[in-house]
Structure 1
């Protein structure tokens, strides 16, 4: 693309832009520094930078050395970042000076982007052009208590776009957003979807990604043509679009993926825009099969269809096998576990030979060979997904759910076992089970059911809960429980395992769905105290916690990014305001939010019953 479109804009990052020529030169400097630091073809290199053009240049520089990049979300706890670098045996980390202290004491070189020269000559003889070797290692949650790194090769990524070319027709006139963290494989589709076709990649700042209104305005102002979202995130973008003063005139394609789609949630969008432009596409995917594995063009007819979530047909170079518990194929129309076969299947899990053998068949380490035998070997690799699907009468597939306890939260795969193992390390915890609870509108949160050791919490159960919350700070946001239930015992199934269905019912009974009436004062006219009381009532309902102090942090109380958006929708509806989450930049507290509400609230707005917010 550098030779074909040297002066096309490759990356837009806020007020700055990089052409393909400039991006190539910047990544050359990074590659030169990495080679000087001892990186060689086949090395693993961490990428630990805030989202921006440095993310794109960094991963390109790593790939130019023939190394595989290991993306680490900069919002992950430092302990998690250190663990990932150690487990991946990364020899260097591309980072910045503010983030580099996370690796103090580790035997790893850090390449700090802001300290590199503006230009420099690479070592062309050492720059590896790619091929069948690993391109990246993305970590997913692990049921054994530790994340597992998925090895994905250059060939797997390149063939993803070859296999989807006829459906999408991406080209140099397309403008993409990179909305997702580099540690989430949806970003692979976003970054390379733009760069492999000569398009422009717009980096979405984290605060904009958390604000549907700000994201909608960015899509409009940057004239984005291709947007990629989880169904939960798109639902909120669509709600903003319904009341936006200006339309998204350039948008031509919306790709949905990362979690189960309920087509009925698209009704309002399709009523406004139709189902032709922008086209809506649902793509089932999994990291081990290189981002996307199926394609389904959605239409108005899907809105009223009964049955499983439609995921369409396999990509052209993949084969789906639906098998029963015995591993044998099941007839069409009968549910079974999905096994994916073909050249998109990854090589396996890094340093996890037993797990690789359990989930993959016909896989082998990447060798870099380009022989026909190597190509044939890639084509016959199969991955057992753990997802339940059904092949329908028309040859398409429907998604039904999981065969195990794995959960999807905001597109991330969460293995409850990883969280349970961490909580179980506390000396006062006898056992722990982590369950999902859906609060509605795709707001899924984790609930930890904990049995303390006998007598350990006499008179002070809150102390153990506080200690468990502190312990969970070592986990990424999506793995942290929002609430903790202390139980005397766990209900068990006849075979002696924790009865998760019974626990889920217990959690539903314990967590209220509404509250009592809060009073009947007038709105902003009653003063800041009344506004603060109303905001507190909304928080109680949305977070599902009774005791909320005016200076308690929303996220410390168990809120998530999706919960935050729901809370703002409730507040704006109650007060007749149009506040955005960016008003909480100085602190996500009731006191801070109430002050902003009081400054702009519509006078005379009646005090609602809390039940309105449930």
Structure 2
């Protein structure tokens, strides 16, 4: 695709002319061909223009994950306006704030969501089933805004990033030789329209004549349901945050029918730890599908770098490789004084080039702070975006990501980068994901707590991770506690949700004894026999009488397996409902002794 200086809607209309009868969008509610999608979007554009929106306007888009999301988005762009996406799952207060801050005068939504939005003081346009004859989009220039996406602000106030048509168009121009997207590709629209990864998914399909599969919210939240959708729809291009993909890969490993149609998986949105992909590489290799890490940032139009993930990356440890900048972008690694660092030294990444956004909506002071001028190679001022990310140039010509400058911790006077700790922990074969945070134990006692995703019980895993950390990290960087979870909590956009990480308990701390060791005297005979079964089922060296089965890492499946062994051991027919008041060795032994009065409760 050689687009030159054209808009997204012009390029889309070219695709409609080439593939009018190909399916453009597959969703739960319906499928739409390119011609049907274009006609329905044209009807929305006409209604918006009649209502006073058009070139230069901003229009809010609040639509659930159905075919109507594509209709509404394209309709806004065909009117000449730019869209401001708002996730329907946001709290009403956040929705209201975004509408007011963006200054939109029109909002596109669905009938079921419209009523509470009519009080916002904007013109609400409700999507319906109407269609208009295909007509050219309203006149818009490549330098006009395509969208304004809001991102979190360091001050707690979200900020709207203004992205132009040409920013998005050149993204696909410069990456086409790497990927070769075409009309045979099937893309999943997994991410919220309010997350810029969706821009890559949406236009990656529709600028090349591919098919866009809109992932329902329920499927996006369930790795099992999402896996089945990908398999059923024969998706070829998958885009995921690393955290979300690790969960999907675990489902694929256990599935009777693994994914076979994928030709490329693109990672973005957060730090990639290649070691977490070891299991996937063992099953699928690295060629079918190809795995690519694309470091990116909203202010540089979704993606800024390209790095195929290799088997060597899986085996290596250390920084997260993000590769080389896109051909029309520049990477500038600078020190705290804004000077280029020496080769191989870490520094803050500044981005320059055609992907840079126009700026922040209505935030000129923030523009001055983040969009800055630095001396270019020729000595002339060069407009750059200051990312706040620390990177280092690697010997292979690419770059490695080290972490955020503003997430840096200070422990006992030492500066600590959580990313370095996480990279060590995820190297462990039993850990699929990790995040390190600072936890205040009171009176200024700040310690590092590691939350890890693993199926291994905490009592077993924590000492192993402690040994690993002690072998690799200096004392001030070693976690004081490990919280083991089946999976790390994620935001709607698939990033680790640090606000939902549980606080460490006493059992999470490293200790010289196993979690659950009995501290209340000798076990009875029944308790001892049950404890041995629990140790076998949970693969624990010791189990105490008063520790909950699930606190030890038990699951509903392992609970059933444990009850089967207990009933076989004692010749009973107990049901799991006998533990309704507590799943402890003591409680279960009491039930066994009740139904088998001849069982001696001796030590």
TM over 0.5: yes
Gaps of 5+ in 1: 364-378, 409-415, 417-431, 444-475, 486-506, 524-535, 543-566, 578-596, 600-604, 610-614
SS in 2 for 1:128: coil
SS in 2 for 1:228: strand
Q: Which of 126, 131, 136 is the matching residue for 1:119?
A: 131
Gaps of 5+ in 2: 1-14, 375-380, 409-417, 420-436, 438-443, 456-493, 519-526, 535-546, 563-574, 578-582, 588-603
Measure how far apart 1:441 and its partner are. Answer: 2.5
Measure how far apart 1:119 and its partner are. Answer: 2.0
CA separation of 1:75/1:517 partners in 2, compared to 1, >3 Å: closer, same or farther? Answer: farther
More deviation, 297-306/226-235: 297-306
The answer for the alignment partner of 1:388 in structure 2 is 390
Measure how far apart 1:517 and its partner are. Answer: 7.3
8 Å CA contact 1:333–1:392 kept in 2: the answer is yes
- After superposition, the C-alpha distances for 1:292-339 in whole angstroms (9 at most, x for unaligned) are 000001111111113210000000111100000000000111000000
SS in 1 for 2:119: coil
The answer for the alignment partner of 2:172 in structure 1 is 161
The answer for the alignment partner of 1:31 in structure 2 is 45
The answer for the alignment partner of 2:279 in structure 1 is 268
Spell out the pairing of 1:445-464 with structure 2 (5 A cutoff).
none
Question: Is residue 102 of structure 1 aligned with residue 116 of structure 2?
Answer: yes
Q: State the number of aligned residues.
A: 459
The answer for the alignment partner of 1:18 in structure 2 is 32
Aligned partners of 1:283 and 1:442: how far apart in 2?
A: 26
The answer for the alignment partner of 2:313 in structure 1 is 302
Question: Is residue 48 of structure 1 aligned with residue 59 of structure 2?
Answer: no
The answer for the alignment partner of 2:593 in structure 1 is none
Question: Is residue 312 of structure 1 aligned with residue 323 of structure 2?
Answer: yes
8 Å CA contact 2:161–2:359 kept in 1: the answer is yes
The answer for the alignment partner of 1:352 in structure 2 is 363
- After superposition, the C-alpha distances for 1:438-492 in whole angstroms (9 at most, x for unaligned) are 521299xxxxxxxxxxxxxxxxxxxxxxxxxxxxxxxx9987833798xxxxxxx
CA separation of 1:362/1:336 partners in 2, compared to 1, >3 Å: closer, same or farther? Answer: closer
Aligned partners of 1:242 and 1:381: how far apart in 2?
A: 46
Measure how far apart 1:396 and its partner are. Answer: 0.6
Question: Is residue 90 of structure 1 aligned with residue 95 of structure 2?
Answer: no
Q: Which of 393, 400, 403 is the matching residue for 1:401?
A: 403
CA separation of 1:484/1:574 partners in 2, compared to 1, >3 Å: closer, same or farther? Answer: closer
CA separation of 1:30/1:321 partners in 2, compared to 1, >3 Å: closer, same or farther? Answer: same
Question: Structure with the greater relative contact order (CA < 8 A, sep ≥ 6): 1 or 2?
Answer: 1
SS in 1 for 2:52: coil
8 Å CA contact 1:538–1:571 kept in 2: the answer is no
The answer for the alignment partner of 2:500 in structure 1 is 482
CA separation of 1:436/1:283 partners in 2, compared to 1, >3 Å: closer, same or farther? Answer: farther
Aligned partners of 1:323 and 1:65: how far apart in 2?
A: 42
8 Å CA contact 2:560–2:576 kept in 1: the answer is no
- After superposition, the C-alpha distances for 1:170-214 in whole angstroms (9 at most, x for unaligned) are 000000000010011110000000001100000111111111111
Q: Which of 451, 473, 492 is the matching residue for 1:439?
A: 451
8 Å CA contact 1:387–1:402 kept in 2: the answer is yes
Aligned partners of 2:44 and 2:196: how far apart in 1?
A: 23
8 Å CA contact 2:40–2:129 kept in 1: the answer is no
Aligned partners of 2:74 and 2:200: how far apart in 1?
A: 15
Coordinate RMSD, CA, aligned: 3.8
- After superposition, the C-alpha distances for 1:106-162 in whole angstroms (9 at most, x for unaligned) are 22011111xx352235775x7234511110011111112210000011000010011
Measure how far apart 1:399 and its partner are. Answer: 0.1
Question: Is residue 243 of structure 1 aligned with residue 254 of structure 2?
Answer: yes
SS in 2 for 1:250: coil
Normalised by the size of structure 1, how large is the TM-score? 0.68
SS in 2 for 1:260: coil
SS in 1 for 2:266: strand
CA separation of 1:484/1:198 partners in 2, compared to 1, >3 Å: closer, same or farther? Answer: closer
The answer for the alignment partner of 2:79 in structure 1 is 65
Aligned partners of 1:122 and 1:36: how far apart in 2?
A: 17
More deviation, 512-521/239-248: 512-521
8 Å CA contact 2:186–2:213 kept in 1: the answer is yes
8 Å CA contact 1:288–1:383 kept in 2: the answer is yes
8 Å CA contact 1:133–1:153 kept in 2: the answer is yes
Aligned partners of 2:190 and 2:286: how far apart in 1?
A: 23
